[in-house]
Structure 1
């Protein structure tokens, strides 16, 4: 299956992670409503191989389509864009494929372009210093002549609505005895560069870890979605404890399933707030 009648893109080789939040939301608009005429998310889930009990449990989700996509992506190596389109067609939902085809094509194009970026490390060099000119001088304290780059203990993944909590994080982790160095995009990154390129550079090569500030607003952010998935791709199975989810307020929406296997630093429980910052600082201070 190709991307479109006049495209040679092989979608069977493109992982499901290529589809951004906008496409996943639109899939939910088509598949979430229970339908007696057309197949809904249950039929797609069944074709994905989910069991009857799993599907029954998904009924309680606010967005079951998104849940099955996330879970299918995390547990099935064959979860590709091409496979998803085939499953939709097998479920007699060609209308969904046709309506979203241009958006899916665009997501796949962007994904393939990102894969063409030069490797971040050449075999004979083990240093993490950037090798491309466009990645010099991207933060306030970088050397514009291409010297040693500014490094951080953690990249903070957040949406604008949660910035007040990020300010508190700065106060508690940078300006106390912990003396950690956080990368806060709006504070530390110089304007004028490509957001996706610079974000990837910071997460992969400049920051030891990434703190993800989880909230309902986070779930609606394409930027946060990209940053989280990119960080997870660098640390499959969380072997290096690279990504740390932080929940600081109650949520109406389900916790993101893609992070369900990671230990959460929970600020919402009064009984644990007294050691919340010490615990988080300790995790960020590890080698």
Structure 2
């Protein structure tokens, strides 16, 4: 039965689609098909590279992984997903799953409408959990004046030597930036996901992501990156700055591909590296 629900699919992010629908999409698109377009065609139309698609092939459910990677991009709306499916001549998928898509979109809109409207004044004066107070070394014990930073540094432990160099370069008198380095600045004993989101969203103006092969295997880095991206769709506020400091054997993460990077691997530009990064972090 056709749904009477009408919504602007351009305003609905792909993240609104639930696991059940994603699995059904996979059932249509995962099998290699010589007659109709499969997940590889869809991935190409989503602008994934050849190497990225080859890596997706190693997954048991490749289309679900493609959708998870694609949904972090600013153009990842339900409207664009349906458009891609139609251009790939998979109108059968759109037709068969239209009711489920409508239902997911309806629930998303209802959730949005039920969310309380907040303004900065109300938010800053509202009750805060103790878990979000006193989370850094120099926090006010009463949580009245929380410590703030110029940038949150997203890194994995194997890249900590470069993070030390970043601290040495950027916190010196010439740039005088204040970096939030988890192992140095965050107090132990609190839920890591709660305080990480608090730091990224409220305490730090920007986030530097140290990209490496080890970064790609870090669940913590993956969470931090996707959370920061959700706060600035389309990189409107230049909030997230990727940094590459050594050559990589694996493909650069697709969710950051649309951002300008700071590349320390090129000897001819290393002399400008710290100045460019410091300038980006100093912007209002």
TM above 0.5: yes
Number of equivalences:
225
Correspondence 1:156 to 2:153: yes
**Which secondary structure state, in structure 2, belongs to the residue aligned with residue 212 of structure 1?**
strand
Separation (CA, whole Å) in 2 of partners of 1:62 and 1:160: 25
Please report the RMSD computed on the Cα atoms of aligned residues, expressed in angstroms. Answer: 3.7
Contact 1:157 1:213 in 2 (8 A): yes
| Unaligned ranges ≥5, structure 2 | 1-11, 82-89, 94-111
Contact 1:154 1:209 in 2 (8 A): yes
2:70 is matched with: 71
Question: What is the CA-CA distance between 1:58 and the residue it aligns to?
Answer: 5.6
* Superposition map of 1:50-199 within 5 A: 50-51=44-45, 57=50, 61-64=54-57, 65=62, 66=65, 69-71=68-70, 74=73, 75-78=75-78, 122=119, 124-125=121-122, 127=124, 131-199=128-196
Larger Rg: 2
Question: What is the CA-CA distance between 1:170 and the residue it aligns to?
Answer: 0.3
TM-score, scaled relative to structure 2:
0.67
CA shift in 2, pair 1:150/1:119, >3 Å: farther
1:228 is matched with: 225
Question: What is the CA-CA distance between 1:148 and the residue it aligns to?
Answer: 0.2
Question: What is the CA-CA distance between 1:63 and the residue it aligns to?
Answer: 3.6
TM-score, scaled relative to structure 1:
0.67
Question: What is the CA-CA distance between 1:175 and the residue it aligns to?
Answer: 2.4
CA shift in 2, pair 1:147/1:73, >3 Å: closer
Question: What is the CA-CA distance between 1:130 and the residue it aligns to?
Answer: 8.1
Separation (CA, whole Å) in 2 of partners of 1:268 and 1:274: 11
| Aligned pair partner of 1:39 in 12, 31, 42 | 31
Question: What is the CA-CA distance between 1:40 and the residue it aligns to?
Answer: 5.1
Question: What is the CA-CA distance between 1:128 and the residue it aligns to?
Answer: 9.2
Correspondence 1:213 to 2:215: no
Question: What is the CA-CA distance between 1:199 and the residue it aligns to?
Answer: 0.3
Question: What is the CA-CA distance between 1:77 and the residue it aligns to?
Answer: 1.7
Question: What is the CA-CA distance between 1:163 and the residue it aligns to?
Answer: 0.4
| Unaligned ranges ≥5, structure 1 | 1-11, 20-26, 32-37, 80-86, 91-114
Correspondence 1:252 to 2:249: yes
Measured against aligned partners, the alpha-carbon deviations of 1:101-130 in whole angstroms (never above 9, x if no partner) come to xxxxxxxxxxxxxx9xx9896564365998
